[in-house]
Chain A
Amino acid sequence: MKFEELKNQIEERMKDLGAEISGKEPNVVDVKVPREKMVEAARRLKEMGFDHVKAVTAIDYPNERFEVVYVSSSYSNLDLAYFIVNLRTDLPYDDPRMPTLLEVWPSVLYQEHEEHDLMGIVFEGHPRMGERLLLPETYEGTPPLRKEFKVKTEGINA
């Protein structure tokens, strides 16, 4: 399958979700949808054959927004395995909530839990919200991956 062909296919499927599609040669397609449409967008991607998630990345832009990226690809269709589709959405900074994609992609169970633990994003409907995964159970305070959480540095930057 060609890159352009895949991009057009995704564009066609996501048209009514208000998705912004962009691509990076040779194999990365970015799909950006509003957070209410995430579950539906994920379901459509899964129907196309993107059956698992490699990484869930939450990015913090202080006082502006959070961005959550689902890096998905295919195991069952080896033609698609060459391509990576980044399903992304923006969350407002003061209300970082979004519906979990666990029902569509069971592979996000630990990934979403980790982003909740370290970045403080709430995935509504995820069974383990409020529990700690990597941090000690007694940890309280700012989630450590946010930019406002500072670690010591050395050298000129310090």
Chain B
Amino acid sequence: MVCALEGSMWVGNLEKAARKAAAWLVNKTPIRSLRDWGIAFSLWPVHFTTACCGAEFGASAAPKFDTERFGFLPFIASRQCNVLFIEGTLSKKMAEAAIWVYEQMPDPKFVVAMGACGIDGGIFWNSYNIVRPKDILPVHVYIPGCPPRPEAVAQAIIMLQRKIRKGELVTYEV
């Protein structure tokens, strides 16, 4: 269809236009804050333990610290999750798997690197078999400690939630 008003939103590819309209609406304040609020309280990390910090990650999901109260529920399948926790050292073999898991997760997705090893190798900084998570994945929050206490994990979750609710991390583009 040729139209005099070509270039305007109302003509052309209807599907594309609809998507554009939806993106505009979702990025507007009331809906956007509702959206970010929803994402912030349904952070589901995938069951992917890369190294020994998993012991403290397990403890933070257990009764005393109970991160589920932040809507933080470890889940089995990567396709149903939106947070990837790098729990400690990432070996070369594991790094491949971490990238696969990250690619399988639906958008929007976040990465948290846990422990000194997740930041810059920690005690294993000169090992021949490690990869620094920042080199292969976009990391949003780092947790220092070796291993970090479960309180630190809770703190990281709250930081991630704040970042999301500020609208820094999630954007919809057409």
Contact = CB atoms under 8 A, between A and B. Distances in A.
User: Does chain A touch chain B in the assembled complex, meaning CB atoms less than 8 Å apart?
Assistant: yes
Contact of B126 (A135, A136, A149, A152): A152
Interface residues of B, number: 7
A149 B92 CA distance: 18
A55 to B, nearest CB: 21
B127 A135 contact: no
B171 interface: no
A153 interface: yes
Tell me if B's interface is mostly helix, strand, loop or mixed: loop
Contacts of B28: none
A152 B126 CA distance: 6
6 nearest A-B residue pairs (beta carbon): A152-B126, A136-B93, A151-B126, A136-B92, A144-B128, A151-B128
Interface of B: 92-93, 125-129
Contacts of A144: 128-129
A20 B151 CA distance: 57
Nearest to B125: A152
Contacts of A149: 128
Given A144-B129, A151-B128, A154-B126, 11 more contacts: A135-B129, A136-B92, A136-B93, A136-B129, A144-B128, A149-B128, A151-B126, A151-B127, A152-B125, A152-B126, A153-B126
B45 to A, nearest CB: 25
A80 to B, nearest CB: 35
